[in-house]
Amino acid sequence: MAYLLLILEPRGQRATRTPEEGHRLYDQMVAFGQDLQNRGQLRAVESLGPDDHAIRVSAGAGGAPQLRDGPFAEAKEMVGGFFLIDVETRDEAVAIARRCPAANWATVEVRECAPCYVS
């Protein structure tokens, strides 16, 4: 079963780190992903840049798509990256999320991949 581990970082947190600290934390995340790959549990992984240059596309007046440039002031967190994993149970996905280095400085949200009409 597929689960998405979303890394939700406090906005602006990256800017408070030295380059050395940023590289050290990134290397921890790469090692974590490599371990998941070695275990056969990793489907995909990506790190995302800050949302300063992101664009949101949403329904506007009359249903026409509306564009909004980032950063998004109303957001307290930004998605910093994700791991798409394949495990048997939710408990296993949660156990992996607890081992994720990002859980020490961000939130790791565990989401089951499922059709959007499933409640």
The pTM (predicted TM-score) of the whole model is: 0.89
Over residues 70-90, mean pLDDT = 90
One-letter identity of residue 98:
R
**Does 53 score more than 90 pLDDT?**
no
| Minimum mean pLDDT range among 72-76, 93-97, 110-114, 115-119 | 72-76
- Map out the domains of the chain with their CATH numbers: 2-112 (3.30.70.1060)
Over residues 10-15, mean pLDDT = 90
